[in-house]
C-alpha cells in the first residue's frame, strides 16, 4: 500500500477502520489524541497484560541462570533457557515463589491466576482470576475485554475442566478458551458473518487510504506495517485451513501424532506461533489489553517426538524418575534407558516452549509504540503451576516476567530467602496496569522489588 501524506486534524485513539463485515482497531499514531483518564495510570501508551501458562513444570535445576552479577543482575542464562538469552535484559527470572493453596495438575492449573484453592469436590477456584479483574477495569477501552486462548488439548485430560481453566469470571465460572486461530482472528477483526470469503483488509481499504492521506510519513509507515502483518496472518490462516482439510481427507496425522482439527496447522510450532502473532496484533491495535494463553492443558499428554531425541508424552516425561514405561502415566509403548536421558528429554520440551515465547517477545519488541515498544508497554507472566513435575511441587515455581510496563525494572534474578506467594506478582501487575485494587487474595503488599 502506497499512501500520500497530507497532515490534517487529529483523530480519536479509538478510531476504527470499518467495512461491511470488518472492524479493525488501529495502532498508536502520532495524529491520535491522548486517551481519556479512565484509569489511575492512564497514558497515551497503556500497559498490556499477558499470562502464558505451561503445564507439567520444569526439571529441577533447569530454571537457574548460569551467571548472576552483583545486585542479582542476569549475566548469562543456562543451556535450557538459552532461547531467551538475547532477551535477558527484558525479563526477570523468579526463584522461591510458590502458590500456598494450589497444587497438582488440576488444582494448580485452576488456581494459577486466582490465588485460591481447588479441592475437586466442587467447581470453585477460590476467586476471580487476576486476568478477569484486569479485563473488568481495562476492557472498557478496547474492542475485546480479554482473550482466553489455548492450544487444542490432547490426551486423557484434554476435556477436564480444572486442567483447561486458568481464567475465572467468578469463583465457580471458568471462561471457555478459544483453540482455533481463525476464530480468534474473526473475533478481533470481523463484525458480522458477511463477506467471510474476503480479506478484512479489502473491506476497509478505502478508509485506510483516506486515513493515510491525513497522516505523517511516520504514521503512514506504522499503518502499512500493521496492515501488512494482518494480511500475513490471514494468508497463514488460509494455508492452515487448506492443509488441515487435505490431511483429514488423507487420514494423516499432525506433527504431534493427533488427527488434524479444522483450521489448526499440522506443525505444532506454526500453530503456537499463529496464536502468539494474534496476541501481538491484538495488543498492537489495542483491540484488547488482557490475554491469557494456555500453551497446553494442565496435564498435557501431547507427543513431542518431532523434537530430535525426544520420545513419549509430555506428562510421562515430567515423571522423569520412572523409566520403565509401565506406570499409569505412560502410553504403554515408550520406555527410557535412564533417568538422565529422560530428564533431558523433559527439559528439551520446556526449552522448545522457551523458543516459542522468545519468538513472541521479540515480535513484541520489534513493534514501536510511543517512546518504546509493545514489550516496553507490557507485563507478561510466563510460567507453570508446578515446580519439578515428578514431585508435583507447588514450591519454586518456574516463572518469568517480561516487559517494562508500569516502569518495571528488568534483567534480574529474584530469589528471596523466604518463599513468596505468586499473588504478590499478580497484585503488582494489576496495579502497574492501572487497576485500582489494594489486595489480591491474602496479599495486600505487591511485589515492589523490581
- Does the structure show a pLDDT above 50 at 420? yes
The pLDDT, as a whole number, for residue 195 is: 81
Provide the 10 A C-beta neighbour count for residue 11.
15
Would you list the domain boundaries of the chain? 48-199+261-432
* pLDDT > 70? residue 35: no
Range 75-98 average pLDDT = 97
49 CB-side CA count, 13 A: 31
DSSP state string for 290-344: EEEEESS-TT---B-TTSTT--SBHHHHHSTT--SS-STTS-SS---S-HHHHHH
How many other β-carbons are positioned within 10 Å of the β-carbon of residue 429? 28
Q: Which residues contact 340 (CB under 8 A, 6 or more apart)?
A: none
pLDDT range class, residue 6, cuts 50, 70, 90:
very low
pLDDT at res. 1: 44
> In angstroms, rounded to a whole number, what is the distance separating the alpha carbons of residues 210 and 232?
22
SS3 49: strand
Q: Name the CA radius of gyration of the chain, rounded.
A: 22
Span 249-270, pLDDT tens digits: 888 889 998 988 889 999 999 9
- H or E element in which residue 62 lies: none
Residue 348 has pLDDT above 60, yes or no: yes
Contacts 24+ apart (CB under 8 A), 180-183: 180/261, 180/262, 180/263, 180/264, 181/237, 181/240, 181/263, 181/264, 181/265, 181/271, 181/274, 181/275, 181/278, 182/237, 182/240, 182/241, 182/263, 183/263
User: The C-alpha cell of 11 is what?
Assistant: 483523530
The pLDDT, as a whole number, for residue 287 is 94
For the ranges 37-41, 75-79, 188-192, 318-322, the lowest mean pLDDT is seen at 37-41
- Per-residue pLDDT of 65-84, as tens digits, reads 999 998 999 999 999 999 99
Q: What is the largest CA-CA distance in the chain?
A: 72
Residue 44: pLDDT band with limits 50, 70, 90: low
pLDDT bin (cut points 50, 70, 90) of residue 422 is very high
Cβ of 445: how many Cβ atoms within 10 Å? 10
Whether the pLDDT of residue 305 is over 90: the answer is: yes
Cα 71 from Cα 65, distance rounded (Å): 14
How many Å apart are CA 446 and CA 429, to the nearest integer?
A: 8
- Mean pLDDT within 51-58: 97
pLDDT in tens, 175-199: 999 999 999 999 999 988 888 889 9
Rounded to whole angstroms, the Cα distance separating 288 from 300 reads 28
pLDDT reported for residue 32: 87
Interval 100-156: pLDDT, tens: 887 789 999 999 999 999 878 899 999 999 999 999 999 998 999 999 999 998 877
Q: Which overall architecture, per CATH, does domain 48-199+261-432 show?
A: 3-Layer(aba) Sandwich (3.40)
Compute the mean pLDDT over every residue in the chain, rounded to the nearest whole number. Answer: 92
Please report, rounded to a whole number, the percentage of residues in the chain having pLDDT higher than 90: 78
- How far is CA 392 from each of CA 20, 96, 104, rounded to the nearest angstrom? 51, 15, 6
- What pLDDT, in 10s, does the model give residues 280-294? 999 999 999 999 999
Amino acid at each position: 500500500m502506497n499512501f500520500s501524506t497530507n497532515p490534517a486534524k487529529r483523530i480519536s485513539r479509538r478510531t476504527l477502520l470499518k467495512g461491511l463485515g470488518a472492524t479493525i482497531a488501529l495502532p498508536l499514531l502520532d495524529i491520535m489524541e491522548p486517551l481519556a483518564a479512565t484509569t489511575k495510570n492512564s497514558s497515551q501508551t497503556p500497559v498490556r497484560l499477558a499470562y502464558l501458562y505451561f503445564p507439567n513444570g520444569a526439571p529441577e535445576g533447569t530454571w537457574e541462570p548460569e551467571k548472576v552479577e552483583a545486585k542479582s543482575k542476569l549475566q548469562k542464562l543456562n543451556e535450557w533457557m538459552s532461547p531467551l538469552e538475547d532477551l535477558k535484559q527484558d525479563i526477570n527470572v523468579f526463584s522461591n515463589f510458590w502458590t500456598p493453596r494450589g497444587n497438582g495438575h488440576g488444582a494448580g492449573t485452576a488456581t494459577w491466576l486466582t490465588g485460591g484453592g481447588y479441592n475437586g469436590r466442587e467447581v470453585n477456584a477460590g476467586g476471580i482470576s487476576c486476568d478477569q479483574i484486569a479485563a473488568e477495569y481495562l476492557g472498557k477501552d478496547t474492542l475485546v475485554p480479554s482473550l482466553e486462548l489455548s492450544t487444542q488439548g490432547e490426551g486423557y485430560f484434554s476435556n477436564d475442566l480444572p486442567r483447561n481453566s486458568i481464567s475465572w469470571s467468578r469463583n465457580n465460572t471458568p471462561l471457555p478458551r478459544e483453540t482455533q486461530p481463525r476464530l480468534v482472528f474473526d473475533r478481533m477483526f470481523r463484525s458480522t458473518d458477511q463477506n467471510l470469503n474476503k480479506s478484512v483488509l479489502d473491506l476497509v481499504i478505502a478508509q485506510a487510504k483516506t486515513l493515510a492521506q491525513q497522516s505523517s510519513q511516520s504514521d503512514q509507515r506504522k499503518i502499512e506495517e500493521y496492515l501488512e502483518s494482518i494480511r500475513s496472518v490471514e494468508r497463514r490462516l488460509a494455508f492452515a485451513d487448506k492443509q488441515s482439510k487435505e490431511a483429514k481427507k488423507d487420514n494423516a496425522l499432525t506433527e504431534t501424532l493427533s488427527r488434524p482439527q479444522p483450521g489448526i496447522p499440522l506443525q505444532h510450532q506454526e500453530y503456537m506461533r499463529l496464536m502468539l502473532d494474534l496476541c501481538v496484533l491484538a495488543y498492537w491495535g489495542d483491540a484488547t489489553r488482557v490475554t491469557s494463553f494456555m500453551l497446553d492443558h494442565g496435564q498435557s499428554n501431547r507427543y513431542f517426538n518431532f523434537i530430535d531425541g525426544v520420545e513419549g508424552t509430555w506428562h510421562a516425561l515430567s515423571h522423569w524418575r520412572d523409566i520403565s514405561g509401565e506406570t499409569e502415566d505412560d502410553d504403554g509403548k515408550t520406555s527410557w534407558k535412564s533417568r538422565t536421558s529422560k530428564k533431558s528429554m523433559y527439559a528439551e520440551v520446556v526449552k522448545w516452549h522457551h523458543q516459542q515465547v522468545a519468538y513472541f517477545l521479540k515480535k513484541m519488541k520489534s513493534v514501536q509504540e510511543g517512546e518504546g515498544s509493545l514489550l516496553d508497554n507490557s507485563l507478561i507472566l510466563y510460567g507453570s503451576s508446578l515446580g519439578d513435575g515428578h514431585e508435583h511441587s507447588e514450591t519454586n515455581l518456574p516463572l518469568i516476567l517480561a516487559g517494562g510496563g508500569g516502569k518495571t525494572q528488568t534483567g534480574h534474578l529474584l530469589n528471596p530467602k523466604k518463599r513468596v506467594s505468586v499473588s504478590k506478582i499478580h497484585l503488582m501487575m494489576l496495579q502497574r496496569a492501572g487497576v485500582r485494587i489494594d489486595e489480591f487474595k491474602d496479599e495486600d503488599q505487591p511485589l515492589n522489588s523490581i
